[in-house]
Amino acid sequence: MKKIVKILMSLIIVVSFNSCSDSDNVIDEVLQVETGAILRTLEILSNTLNSSDNSSEFSVSVEEQDGEDGVLFQSIDILVSIKDLSPDNGTTVADDMLIKTIDASAFSSGPHGLPRGLVSATFGEATAAMGLGADDHAPGDVFIFELRLNLTDGRSFGATEAGGSVTGGFFDAPHKYNALILCSPEPGDYRVDMHDSFGDGWQTDGGNGGPGIQVVVDGVILEIGMCSPYGGSALGTFLENGAGTGCTTWPASVSDPTSEWFEATATITIPVGAQEAVWSFPGDSFGEISFEIFAPDGSLLFDSGGIGNTSAGLLPIALCAIN
């Protein structure tokens, strides 16, 4: 029995030693965060900027957390960079330019006793901070906003300091946000050609049949996607056995399910006078989807780049109306 106890104790010591030496696990990151500070995202209120309107703004609601429940909170620096996705007008480089600093006094205590507040910056403020003229940016570019949290003890925490355990999940504290540059859109019919390499239509986000490509036009959601042969409207927007709302098969007269679910074409109509059109894609759960989007005049606006190549999120589509 004593030998067994000795063996067990040895194993415990070895396991304990190995556990302590492993500094890359999640709990270590969490413990490090608890002695530091984060800005937890509560809600992204606006992540698009209209280049036709200097007052359009990026805004996010955040909650500050530090080792003393907000006592160390001093201020937040808002920095901006540009990701130039419109090389036709040259390549613009501007990184981590300070827009402004928001004092902790602008925040108020939330339901958990932690400071909460709104952080925002306008398109005009961002371009001025980067020193950009009208020819240095274009719709389709992305402004990257970083929030750097400053504490009264002299420490600062931003996107670089945020570990993997806090950038997602409950903490949701990336400290960095993308804002797509848009403009007032050209009205008309935008054609979307959709493809599914497996031939069973679209099951985009988590395989539930929807949503599809969405376009929010002045707050109104328009949605399109390929139908799927699996049936059952309760299963999702596009699992409607080829006859559901919002889904499209091509051609509609084809009854052979082995050939009906590979291709589809649909149209998004943007009305005259629209102020903003924001395109987004929910993702591709099974790596089977590709699509192209065409302007009202038939020119190609966006190509997903092949099967499974488009990540979930905003699509860089901005065709400006001619004033």
pLDDT for the residue numbered 162: 62
Question: What are the φ and ψ backbone dihedral angles of 12, each rounded to 5 degrees?
Answer: -60, -45
The residue among 217, 193, 322, 186 whose CA lies nearest residue 280 is: 217
24: exposed, middle or buried (Cβ count in 10 Å: 0-12, 13-18, 19+):
exposed
Contact predicate 65/44, CB 8 Å = no
Residues 44-69 as b or e (16 or more Cβ within 10 Å = b): eeebbbbbbbeebbbbbbbbbbbeee
What's the pTM value of the predicted model, to 2 decimals?
A: 0.59
For the residues 303-309, what does the mean pLDDT come to? 86
Taking residues 172-197, report their average pLDDT.
88
Residues 6+ apart with CB under 8 A from 90: 135, 136
The Cα–Cα gap between 276 and 197 comes to 32
Share of the chain above pLDDT 90, in %: 38
**Residue 167: is its pLDDT beyond 50?**
no
Q: pLDDT band at 5, cuts 50/70/90?
A: very low
Query: What is the DSSP-derived secondary structure letter of residue 251?
Result: S
208 CB burial (10 A radius; 0-12, 13-18, 19+): middle
Radius of gyration of the chain (CA): 25
Residue 15 pLDDT grade (very low, low, confident, very high; cuts 50, 70, 90): very low
Token pair of 28 as six digits: 């270590």
Give the domains, in start order, of the chain with CATH numbers: 26-182 (2.60.40), 188-314 (no CATH)
The mean pLDDT of the chain is 78
Q: Which of 17-31, 207-221, 232-246 is predicted most confidently?
A: 207-221
pLDDT surpassing 70 at residue 232 = no
- Amino acid 94: pLDDT: 79
Amino acid symbol at 79: L
User: What integer pLDDT is reported at residue 98 of this predicted model?
Assistant: 96
- Alpha-carbon distance of 203 to 225, in angstroms, equals 9
How many CB atoms within 10 Å of residue 321?
A: 16
